[in-house]
Chains A and B, each alone.
Chain A
Amino acid sequence: MNMTPRRRRMVLVGLIVLGVGAATAFALTAFKENLLYYYPPTDVTAGKAPADRVFRLGGMVEEGSLKRETGSMEVRFVVTDFQNDVTVSYTGVLPDLFREGQGVIARGQLGSGGVFVAQEVLAKHDENYMPPAVAESLRKQHEKKAAPATPST
């Protein structure tokens, strides 16, 4: 039982290394499972988005696309990157900052008929603001369309 200080320290260090190692392994698994990938509508229509996994869809809410049955909690709107569109269905309370013609990110899964069933909708309030990921994918689309790159406004 009487350990030398050196041995004692080794045991302590060993325990710490073991603990940290186990935690790291666990962390990486949890990390992988909870990593949410982002897809713009073009990738979704091209079938690049996973069918059985939760992901994030981002783009602009198309003007005039917001529809709801009177008195129903379910809303439908179209998210576009000005190339392709994806219809999103969401049941619940939309965030305050949600508006047509503005950037939005929805977290959810693909449902039947290519409708994206959102569990959560995130929106930003500033009319000049776009989530960086959305801005990036819009910029790429833009460059594909027009060869000379013009700064998007």
Chain B
Amino acid sequence: MPAELGHFALILAFCLALPQAFFGLIGAALRRPHWMALTTRAVAGQFVFTAFAFACLAYCFYRNDFSVLYVAQNSNSELPTFYRFAAVWGAHEGSLLLWLLVQSTWTVAVAAFSRNMPHTMTSRVLGVLGLISAGFALFILTTSNPFERMWPAAADGHDLNPLLQDPALAIHPPMLYTGYVGMSVPFAFAVAAMLEGKLDSLWARWVRPWTTVAWMFLTVGIALGSWWAYYELGWGGWWFWDPVENASFMPWLIGTALIHSLAVTEKRGLFKSWTLLLSIIAFSLSLLGTFLVRSGVVESVHAFASDPARGLFILAFLVICIGGALGLYAWRAPLFKSAAGFAPISRESFLLMNNVLLVVALVVILGGTLYPIFLDTFKLRAVSVGPPYFRTMFLVPMLPLVLLLAPGMHAAWKRASFERTKVLLAILLVAAIALGIAIPLFSYGWRSVLSTVGIIVALWVGFAALIEPVERLRKGHSLSASVLGMSVAHFGLAMFILGATTVESYKQEKDLSLRPGQSTEVAGFTFTMNSLRNVAGPNYHAVESEVTIARNGRELTKLYPQKRVYRVQRNPMTEAGIDAGWNRDLFVAMGEELGDGSWSLRLQYKPMVRFIWLGAVVIALGGLIAICDRRYRQRVAGEATSPVQAGTRTA
């Protein structure tokens, strides 16, 4: 019964998305207040029914209703309750329902927090979001119904993929989806602005917090995925340039560009059509990511189902969304000319370079990701693009990007002379170079020019990010949330670069066989395998080894890596043992039994690896601080339209 109710609620949600789109768009076009007022009702109704449908599916999981096909495929009576709930989005159908729920949550939030916007604008934004919701609801109903029954009911379920039975991965999809779907909000705002034919700095001020929130969730979602891959896949890598990872990273890059371009649009009334284009591209890349993951064109743990109908639907949806938006753009963009100019050395130029370089990075990744798929589609050749391509090529735009970041943060609008900061920036650069050479030399040893450069730019950006907050605090000046947020986010980026450079340059790893009692040395740490024993978990059994790690004869820690076999799916799973420290991780993963009582083990030393995820969290925190800025909460109805009024204030 709950399954049927859920299915019915989903149909109702779809039915409500249509009037939401109709009254939102047509009501605004015809300027009919009653029609526009209906839009918000439809939004509320759609949210209620989607949430109800989602709750129904969760209830089916909770009650182990194995007569529902999706539950039978992805759960099991032995599955712990927490994972039974997480299993709701453990595969294709349920994760799409989650997508729809997130979409309608965003829509409700937009409806609730846009009281200070003109009615027609709100109404158009909600209308566009309604169209997107309708598309996804239709997708679920026609190709991926999670409420489908199976007769006779299964005696027990096929269990959740053991790889997904993990706390980080339970929250990774909701985070990532909130980010992906959140990109539909700037998209809707862009379409609404083009329909309206008006785009001023007020518009940019409305869009900025939404974009930042979406981008924040995307940041955290990607970081969680990376962290999960690090400890759960058992290999100790944190980024594999896998097509699915790239699919989530591409909207992030464009989202980052969009945030920066929006700053220019808000403060100076420039880059208007560029901002619109970025908004369209960011959401298109989210859809492209969904297409890549859901259609089964790429091989990955994420590629649940390879049903051509699904791929085709998303592709059609993608074409309609991008085609429609770009068509509108081609027609309307000439309206958004900006008159103001800026000097070659100015904040505008730096932000322009930021955008150009981020787009170049996107093209690099997009090319590497799509080329094999392109060849495969036309049955030309089976190829894959190796990670070295991405590793090398990604640095080409990224190095200048971070180098320009340090002065860019302190450049003034219109024309930058760096009068106040040039000496300080130079001193900091010298300090960064000195430290960048000294630190590796005294702690890790010389590796390569590139790793030294990486550490130097990380330090420089980190120092430069601190200038403004420290200076203002010292002088007792107030520090706006915007400036603080920007500084924190850039400091987070510096942490990330430091972590990524150090771990990639100085990691040490060793695959070898050990018998209980034997020991070996990696990076000055002595790893001793003490014993092996069998342990039983709630839905798996495992072989666990006890590994003692010592340095200079003093015991540091004991790790208990496991090799699990889940009872239902019979897949072996590696649970790595990790000793995490702020400046290094020690990592032990069990391979397989080699026959004579010994096991193959992978031992790794990962310096500064935590800075990668910590940096990402700090970046997201910067976004959170920035959206708390007072100006986003002000009622701006009276302020009306004056694009370049904000002048030379820093963002």
Contacts and interface: CB of A to CB of B under 8 A. Distances in A.
B360 A23 contact: yes
A27 B385 contact: no
Contact of B392 (A30, A73, A93, A95): A30
B370 to A, nearest CB: 12
B386 A71 contact: no
Given A12-B344, A30-B393, A94-B592, A73 B385 contact: no
B219 interface: no
A20 interface: yes
Contact of A131 (B299, B381, B595): B299
Contact of A132 (B376, B569, B594, B601): B376
B574 A96 contact: yes
B571 A38 contact: no
A70 B593 CA distance: 9
Contacts of B360: 19-20, 23
A114 interface: no
B388 interface: yes
B384 A38 contact: yes
Contact of A93 (B163, B393, B589): B589
Range of interface residues on chain B?
Answer: 35 or more
B386 A68 contact: no
A93 B600 contact: yes
B571 A96 contact: yes
A41 to B, nearest CB: 14
A75 B360 CA distance: 42
Majority DSSP secondary structure for residues of B touching A? mixed
Contacts of A124: 299
A26 B600 CA distance: 40
A16 B386 CA distance: 28
B389 to A, nearest CB: 4
B382 A93 contact: no
B356 A96 contact: no
Majority DSSP secondary structure for residues of A touching B? mixed
Contacts of A44: none
Contacts of A149: none
A125 B513 CA distance: 25
B376 A30 contact: no
A30 B386 CA distance: 10
A16 B353 CA distance: 9
Nearest to B597: A71
Interface string B355-393: 010001000100110010000100101111111110011
B382 A37 contact: yes
Interface string A26-51: 11001101111110000000000000
A136 B380 CA distance: 12
Contacts of B572: 96-97
B386 A73 contact: no
B469 interface: no
A11 B364 contact: no
Contact of A71 (B389, B595, B602): B595
Interface string A64-80: 00001011110000000
Contact of B511 (A11, A27, A93): A93
Nearest to A70: B595
Contacts of A136: 379, 382
A27 B364 contact: yes
A16 B379 CA distance: 36
- B364, B389, B569: which has the most chain A beta carbons within 10 Å? B389
B596 interface: yes
A142 interface: no
Interface of B: 161, 163, 234, 296-297, 299, 306, 341, 344, 349, 352, 356, 360, 364, 367-368, 371, 376, 379, 381-389, 392-393, 396-397, 511-513, 569, 571-574, 589, 591-592, 594-596, 598, 600-602
23 contacts: A20-B356, A27-B364, A30-B388, A30-B389, A30-B392, A30-B393, A31-B371, A34-B385, A34-B392, A36-B386, A38-B381, A38-B383, A58-B382, A70-B594, A70-B595, A71-B594, A93-B592, A97-B572, A125-B161, A131-B299, A133-B376, A136-B379, A137-B382
Given A8-B344, A92-B600, 16 more contacts: A12-B344, A12-B349, A12-B352, A23-B397, A30-B388, A31-B371, A34-B385, A35-B389, A36-B384, A36-B386, A56-B382, A58-B382, A73-B511, A92-B511, A131-B299, A137-B382
Closest CB pairs A-B (n = 7): A93-B591, A34-B389, A38-B382, A70-B595, A133-B382, A34-B386, A71-B596
